[in-house]
């Protein structure tokens, strides 16, 4: 029985993880549930799964959650500090790090410091401070098991290949809802259109990132840190069918790929159950129903976010942190119809040009760079 702490339980990854737990009650128990502000769903989850600890980050929701769970043997806490304290508890075995964006950094770092196994669904934490996280994980023995479908695919392809050097990895991208479109089309794109991903069911933030190809750029940076790669060893191809989730090419030229229907429950289950594969009833891929699997180069001239992310990957330092912070503000503004689709890329590029570059940042430098980039981006979008 593995004891699971789900940080971000009310989001897309968190709710699907609870589906996996629900289907495997003999394998998993829920020890910690956390949410930012969705108190109604958090209460419902807590009443069903009976965790030891519940944390709601928005302190104004504390009394609501506390009152709803007062008859249960569940400890209720509120605030960001409580989030970190929960991450440091010794009563769970594996953290599912599913808090969206930069907000997931501190609790994930705390869990790493405690030597926890991390099922990592928050790519931004590695984008922001990958060098510090990886170094700390080596020191404490913390294991980082990727949940992103692409990185889970790479991870699965590398099982049994530890002594065989990687020549390169190939991250696949669907291309999002606007694959093949040009700026004269994208200038008129609205929020609801951008949220209609052709293959995956995801949260709003990652869906917009997929539409701008920023998500693939973030994944390139994450892959560098997860698998100890040089920037030139990470390649992206557009694969509209989303059946091949990513590939590894070894130095003998052989390529291994992980395939399956696009369903996030599979990489979530794999990460939670690793090293075992758990039998399930998920839909299966049938080669007879797919007559074509196609691949093409990404259009980095139109989708500038991917080009900006590649620049951040190559330069390193605090630039990925600056890029991520500006992007979070830009996506927030776009989702509220404050700026246009193409404006998001402008905000990110200007922030990367404005915020001072630091080649070897400390953790405090990362915090400061994040804050400075957010402030600058907020001024651009007139928050």
Domain containing residue 371: CATH number: 1.10.1740.10
The domain boundary residue, chosen from 271, 304, 337:
304
The confidence score (pLDDT) of residue 383 equals 67
Q: Reduced to 3 states, what is the DSSP secondary structure of residue 137?
A: helix
**Stated pTM of the model:** 0.93
Asked whether residue 199 is assigned to any structural domain, the reply reads: yes
Of 350, 308, 95, the residue nearest 209 (C-alpha): 308
The confidence score (pLDDT) of residue 103 equals 85
147: its two tokens = 């949940």
Pairing of the two strands 2-7 and 28-35: parallel
SS3 content of the chain, % helix, strand, coil (to 5): 50, 15, 35
Do 294 and 327 share a structural domain?
no
Do 127 and 28 share a structural domain?
yes
User: Mean pLDDT of successive 10-residue segments in the chain (383 residues)?
Assistant: 96 95 97 96 97 97 96 96 96 94 91 96 91 95 96 97 96 94 93 82 85 96 96 97 97 97 95 96 92 95 97 97 96 95 97 97 95 97 82
Do 172 and 104 share a structural domain?
no
Name residues whose C-beta falls within 8 Å of residue 315's C-beta, 6 or more positions apart in sequence.
357
Q: Are 157 and 170 in contact (CB under 8 A)?
A: no
In a 13 Å sphere around the CA of 231, the CA atoms on its Cβ side amount to 11
Asked whether residue 267 is assigned to any structural domain, the reply reads: no
Do 178 and 106 share a structural domain?
no
DSSP 140: H
Of 364, 381, 272, the residue nearest 326 (C-alpha): 381
Strand partners for 238: 173, 296
Q: Which domain holds residue 24?
A: 2-146
The confidence score (pLDDT) of residue 295 equals 97
Cis peptide before 22 (omega within 30 of 0): no
Do 159 and 140 share a structural domain?
no
Name residues whose C-beta falls within 8 Å of residue 228's C-beta, 6 or more positions apart in sequence.
none
Do 136 and 19 share a structural domain?
yes
Query: How far, in Å, CA of 143 to CA of 200, rounded?
Result: 27
Strand partners for 118: 95, 144
Q: Are 77 and 84 in contact (CB under 8 A)?
A: no
Do 142 and 155 share a structural domain?
no
Give the chain's domain count. 3
């Amino acid at each position: 029985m593995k004891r699971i702490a789900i940080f971000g339980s009310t989001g897309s990854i968190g709710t699907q993880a609870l589906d996996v737990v629900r289907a495997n009650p003999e394998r998993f128990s829920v020890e910690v549930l956390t949410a930012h502000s969705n108190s109604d769903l958090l209460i419902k989850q807590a009443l069903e799964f009976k965790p030891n600890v519940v944390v709601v980050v928005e302190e104004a929701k504390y009394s609501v959650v506390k009152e709803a769970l007062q008859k249960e043997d569940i400890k209720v806490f509120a605030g960001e500090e409580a989030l970190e304290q929960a991450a440091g508890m010794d009563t769970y075995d594996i953290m599912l790090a599913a808090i969206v964006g930069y907000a997931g950094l501190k609790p994930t770092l705390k869990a790493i410091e405690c030597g926890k196994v991390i099922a990592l669904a928050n790519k931004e934490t590695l984008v922001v401070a990958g060098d510090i996280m990886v170094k700390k994980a080596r020191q404490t023995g913390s294991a980082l098991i990727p949940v992103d479908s692409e990185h889970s695919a790479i991870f699965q392809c590398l099982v049994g290949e530890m002594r065989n050097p990687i020549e390169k990895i190939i991250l696949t991208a669907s291309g999002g809802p606007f694959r093949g479109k040009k700026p004269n089309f994208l200038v008129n794109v609205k929020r609801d259109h951008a949220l209609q991903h052709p293959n995956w069911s995801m949260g709003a933030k990652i869906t917009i990132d997929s539409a701008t190809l920023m998500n693939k750029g973030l994944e390139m940076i994450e892959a560098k840190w997860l698998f100890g790669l040089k920037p030139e060893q990470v390649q992206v191809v557009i694969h509209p069918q989303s059946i091949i989730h990513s590939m590894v090419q070894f130095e003998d030229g052989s390529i291994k790929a992980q395939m399956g229907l696009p369903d996030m429950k599979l990489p979530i289950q794999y990460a939670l159950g690793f090293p075992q594969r758990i039998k399930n009833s998920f839909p299966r891929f049938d080669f007879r129903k797919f007559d074509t699997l196609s691949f093409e180069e990404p259009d980095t001239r139109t989708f500038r976010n991917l080009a900006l992310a590649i620049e951040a990957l190559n330069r390193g330092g605090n630039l990925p942190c600056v890029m991520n912070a500006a992007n979070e503000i830009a996506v927030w503004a776009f989702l509220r119809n404050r700026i246009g689709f193409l404006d998001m890329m402008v905000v990110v590029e200007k922030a990367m040009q404005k915020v001072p570059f630091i080649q070897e940042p400390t953790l405090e430098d990362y915090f400061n760079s994040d804050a400075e980039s957010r402030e600058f981006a907020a001024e651009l979008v007139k928050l």
